Amino acid sequence: MYDICDNKLSYSSRGEKLIVEAWGNNAFRVRATKKKAFSSQNGALTEAVESCNVKTYKNENYAELINGKAKVRVDKFGKITFFNSNQKVLEELYRIKTVPTTHINSLHFAAREYVGITRGAWEITLRFESNDGEQLFGMGQYQQPYLDLAGCTLELAQRNGQITVPFVLSSLGYGFLWNTPSVGNVVFGKNMTEWHFDMEDEIDYYICMGDTPAEIVETYTSVVGRAPEMPEDLLGLWQSKLRYSTQDEVLKVAEEYKRRNIPLDVIVIDYIHWKKFGNWSFDSECFPNPSEMTEKLISMGIKPMVSVWPALERSSENYNEMLEKGFIVDTDRGLPIHTDFFNLSYFDATNPEACEFVWDKIRNGYVKHGIKNFWLDCAEPEFRGYHHDNYRYADGNTTAVANEYPKYYTKMVWDGLKSEGEKDVVSLVRSAWTGSQKYGALVWSGDIESTFDALKNQVQAGINMGICGFPWWTTDTGGFMHGDIDDPKFRELLVRWFQYSTFCPVLRMHGDRMSSKHIPDGNRYFAPNEIWSYGEEVYEILKKYVSLRESLKPYLKEKFEEASKNGAPLIRAMFYEFPSDKECWKLSTQYMFGDKYLIAPVLEAGVTSRELYLPQGEWKNIFSGETVNGGKYISVDAPIDVIPVFEKM
């Protein structure tokens, strides 16, 4: 029933084929299918790896592979069990496995369940036994207040604000990656863990072992890819809002920053700077000379970034040609209109020819004017109702492949700019999949609410994205949804969010702002969002944190270099830096910024102090200069101009 050859353990029974193979160090890749043959694709496991010192064992009851700190056992019934250096950590669920197959028992649960569907694929469920007390982290970005995902049910699909990166890190010392882009869900239940997918050809997952979270993340990112080094001239303040409508408006904002002597690294030109979605060029009436605009901005030391959508209006200049060439996402039912917003359709980023076509338009519309950084908005893309079964990519029905779209979209720009000779490529992206980071994806958390609850959710999201191998991550400071610039409550939120953003990988102002007061053009929306737009008191506080951010640039450069070498995130769970401190595994509202700074953002309105935990050692409050011995909880003053930050001494 099973055999071992060339570091691979194979098993077959009742039409199912199973392969377990050593994959790099301390890790395995597992595949199983009922089709005639396995796929030749490696999914997210794109990086070349070598496995060393793999040992094997086989007897009449089971076979084993041992790969460094990882061991896997497959028994004669096909059940898989994984071990790290210390213990059994993950075991497939078979409630009644030893009952002879000729007997029927209603309590039998199959660990690997295949249900045939009419589209020629399978509905697949994979089940594991749960471990009491186990904590689980990662999985990408979900707008929820939970850092520990044990007990959570998660949809495995991309949405605006939700990013599926199906890698989970366990407190028991392993990392697990589901290695296909299928739409589905996972339940990290108390009684079992269940991965379920509506349309899939095979089970494909990767599991690695490590003594610390840092070792696990380093091993995992070695096989899926790591972010490049972030350019030094992007480490300061980024200015953005919904939206700068004209070339003149963009330049006036940049000039005002210059006049006030406030360092600004990037200014972002948001959507509808074009005549039509799908033209991929400036509206010549509003942006009459983009080359001149770019030259002026660069002369001020400010890099321009331009929003690019994967969307087309039917009346755009490229729609008919792209439809005829099959470059637009198809539908199995109805017209190829994918969202109610402007009745937009999306181009198929899984089609290489479509990517070449769109990149050519972007190159002629923007790159020739000196634009080298792009904001890849709506990168999920945002389907009407997310009815995945009705949409079809070149790679297949979206139910089977949807989650990979943002990775291809980001790769299109990476490949295009590299072909233009660009060394540093950074794209601000609203969605991602496993491995997107290696294509210069700076992920942001989407169109989130302007509330303290949303701010709290971002702390969890940033930590979990970092665990998934994404050191480049940011948010809309102040939230996206309609903050009123004249409202004292929103001003308080903005200050607290800006303080938090100062200790994020990228500090970026953005949002759909409004004003309860009269705006010169009569429109209470698209209100100002520059740091001086919120009154003198707020301005002085934000200016203080821009200066602090500037002082952190050498440290940021060092941490971004580290991230590119070993996958270490900048936003780190407390347990990432202090894995032997049991208290650190409980903390979800504070984090380490690199290995040096402990950040405890204020996450409630009207609060002027907060409790935080300091691990063992000596810590210095960077604002008061006071030093404190750790290993305990303390209460810290946090007036409106202070975020509690402690430096490890």
DSSP string for 357-413: HHHHHHHHHTGGGT--EEEE-S-S---STT-GGGEEETTEEHHHHGGGHHHHHHHHH
DSSP state of 109: -
Host H or E run for residue 253: helix 247-259
Q: Which residues contact 118 (CB under 8 A, 6 or more apart)?
A: none
Catalytic residue among 194, 270, 447, 476: 447
CB atoms within 10 A of CB 9: 25
> Quick one: CA torsion of 553, 649, 135, 132, rounded to 10 degrees?
180
User: Is residue 537 annotated as part of the catalytic site, yes or no?
Assistant: no
Buried b (16+ CB within 10 A) or exposed e, 263-279: ebbbbbbbbebbbbbbb
User: Is residue 377 annotated as part of the catalytic site, yes or no?
Assistant: yes
Strand partners for 304: 267
Compute the distance between CA of residue 108 and CA of residue 99 in angstroms, rounded to an integer: 9
Catalytic residue among 215, 377, 404, 530: 377
Q: Which residues contact 472 (CB under 8 A, 6 or more apart)?
A: 227, 230, 426, 437, 440, 441, 442, 443, 505, 506
Residue 130: closest CA among 163, 101, 170: 170
Strand partners for 373: 305
453: amino acid identity, one letter: D
The SS3 assignment for 531 reads: coil
Q: State both tokens at 96.
A: 């009644």
Residue at token pair 């609060």: 607
| HSE-up of residue 401 (Cα within 13 Å, Cβ side) | 18
By DSSP bridging, strand 373-376 and strand 427-429 are: parallel
Sheet holding 174-178: strands in order across?
2-5, 8-13, 16-22, 27-33, 202-209, 174-178, 163-170, 136-141
Residue at token pair 């997310």: 386
Catalytic residue among 348, 380, 395, 512: 380
> Cis (ω within 30 of 0) for the bond into 381?
yes
Compute the distance between CA of residue 511 and CA of residue 526 in angstroms, rounded to an integer: 9
The SS3 assignment for 284 reads: coil
CB atoms within 10 A of CB 489: 14
Q: Which residues contact 325 (CB under 8 A, 6 or more apart)?
A: 353, 354, 357
User: Is residue 201 annotated as part of the catalytic site, yes or no?
Assistant: no
Compute the distance between CA of residue 380 and CA of residue 140 in angstroms, rounded to an integer: 14
Q: Which residues contact 625 (CB under 8 A, 6 or more apart)?
A: none
Compute the distance between CA of residue 519 and CA of residue 241 in angstroms, rounded to an integer: 16
Strand partners for 648: 619
Q: State both tokens at 642.
A: 């202070």
Active-site residues, by number, are 377, 380, 447
